[in-house]
Structure 1
Amino acid sequence: MAGAIEEAVVRPVGTALAAATGAMARALGRRPLHPRGVLLRATLVVAEDEAGAVAVPQGRTDALVRVSLAVGLPRGCPDVVGLAVRWTDGGAPQDVLFSSAGSGRVTRYVLAPRRRLMHGAFSTLMPLRSPHGPVVLGLRPDPGATRARGTPVLEVLEASPIGPWRRFGAIELHGPPAGTTRDGDDPAVRFDPTRNAPRLLGTYAWEDALRAPVYAAARRGSLVRDDGQS
């Protein structure tokens, strides 16, 4: 049944979105979504005895975070904020993408344009496949930890698709890594939540059918290197 729904509904939607994305990329001559961003060094912090964090490394792990705006509107205009997180597992990139969204049981699946980058909640929007069932991951600013550490800190949260949020870690944001351009970005770094889904936190087939064609179309249609984030 799930396969039939994927073929009848999800895949045609993914194909249509891919066509629109490719056309936009060719018209603009650049990646169509999240064209500009800032790449930051980060530290993923998860307690050593955090039993629920089965899909992310425990302890302190080096990570990369790219903060970007979906459309790249002028400063001050509301835009969807994207926050891409990467760590490595055995040398392989592990990517999770978050977007500014609500935090409620329904609004966690709804994009929320904002004027301020690091304000409000972030969500993966789609459930991910964990060893204990589907989960939605979220991020939320931690003002207390930010003041104490002197660097932006985000809580890392998880929830069942309609369950309450539970904190299991944090992300500390630092400065840009070496090799970034003057504006703080690095076009050689590409995030892809489908091809680089975390080893213990995969995506569902219907998600891949919806998103993978869009990422591929963005890369083919753009005249510059694309990081895959859409």
Structure 2
Amino acid sequence: MTGLGTAVARPAGAALAAATGALARLRHRRPFHTRGVLLDATLVVAEDEAGAVSVPQGRKEALARLSLSAGLPRGLPDVVGLAVRWTEDGAPQDVLFSSSGHGRLTRFALVPRRTLLGGWFSTIMPLRAPHGPVVLALRPDAMVTRVTGVVTLEVLEATPLGPWRRFGALELHGPAAGASRDGDDPGLRFDPTRDAPRRLGTYAWEDRLRAPGYAAARRESRSDRDRDQS
């Protein structure tokens, strides 16, 4: 996006940050995706796959958090989030996916649905890969899930308007060892701008748009914890 787009993204990001902070103060917790399930996961990418230049090759231990955006009662359509984290040299590498379509335009649109894993997920915004801008997506692999008994999602990549190409898989296992009694970890925060993968970064306009909101959510969460401890 041009410098004009980056300039427009800055005030838009400030407005989103203000709204996010206000909602966090009102809820006294995460403003969105308040409740989720933390899962052990495995990222599987063949070494000869071209898309492997962006993500680790082979089998890589990961962490995934499955959540609903607005936290509406079960049965009502809601945007489903799937956050994925692996580490490199001890540093978190975060990619966030949201329920979406998979067409040339709908891959950039949030799509509410009633089932957690009943459709496609995408990064919604393009990411900066070594070979140019890409959108990543996940889709359920029903056959592999049925044969192995492990919930498996295909990992796909496309240029912003190009066809999808599968280059890996994400296996979702049971609840993570560090999860609390309800299966979540209230203190864990995924951040796709601050902790963007080393070989799969974000663009300046995305950072201007999203980073202030994530910072506001973290700041309000810290304030709530400090008040609880005082």
Tell me the TM-score normalised to structure 2 length: 0.94
Runs of 4+ in 1 over 2 A off after TM superposition: 1-5, 221-225
Alignment map for 1:1-230 (pairs within 5 Å)? 2-7=2-7, 9-222=8-221, 224=224
Over residues 128-156 of structure 1, what are the superposed CA-to-partner deviations in whole Å (9 max), with x where a residue is unaligned? 00111000000000000000110110000
In the TM superposition, residue 192 of structure 1 has moved relative to its aligned partner by 0.5
Shift of residue 208 of structure 1? Answer: 0.2
Query: Contact (CA 8 Å) 1:31, 1:224: kept in 2 or not?
Result: no
Counterpart-to-counterpart distance in 2, 1:111 and 1:50: 28
User: By how many angstroms is 1:177 displaced?
Assistant: 1.7
Partner deviation per Cα, 1:12-35 (whole Å, 9 max, x = no partner): 111011111111111111111000
The DSSP-based 3-state class of the residue aligned with 1:62 is: strand
Which secondary structure state, in structure 2, belongs to the residue aligned with residue 209 of structure 1?
helix
Q: Which amino acid aligns with 2:136?
A: L
Q: Match of 2:200, as an amino acid?
A: L
Number of matched residues? 224
Q: 1:220 offset after TM fit, Å?
A: 1.8
Q: In the alignment, residue 69 of structure 1 is paired with which amino acid?
A: L
CA distance in 2, matches of 1:142, 1:166: 14
Contact 2:50 2:167 in 1 (8 A): no
Aligned residue in 1 for 2:228: none
Cα distance in structure 1, aligned partners of 2:181 and 2:51: 39
Question: Where does structure 2 lack aligned partners over 5 or more consecutive residues?
Answer: 226-230
Q: 1:224 to 1:174 in 2, by over 3 A?
A: farther
C-alpha separation between the residues in 1 aligned to 2:110 and 2:32?
14
For residues 101-158 of structure 1, give each alpha carbon's deviation from its aligned partner in whole angstroms, at most 9, with x where no partner exists. 0000000001000110001100000000011100000000000000011011000000
Partner Cα separation in structure 2 for residue 94 and residue 37 of structure 1? 19
Q: Residue 221 of structure 1: CA displacement?
A: 2.4
1:163-209 CA-to-partner distances (Å, cap 9, x unmatched) read: 00000000011011212111100123211100110000000000000
Q: SS of the counterpart of 1:175?
A: strand
Cα distance between partner residues in 2 of 1:189 and 1:60:
23
| Higher mean C-alpha displacement, 132-141 vs 187-196 | 187-196
Query: Residue 208 of structure 2 aligns to a residue in which SS?
Result: helix
Secondary structure, in 3 states, of the residue corresponding to 1:52? helix
Contact 2:83/2:96 (<8 A) preserved? yes
Select between 214-223 and 98-107 the one with higher mean Cα deviation: 214-223
Which one has the bigger helix percentage?
A: 2
**Cα deviation digits, residues 195-230 of structure 1 (max 9, x gap):** 1100000000000000000111112223557xxxxx
For the 8 Å contact 1:108–1:123, the answer to whether it is kept is yes
Identity %: 73
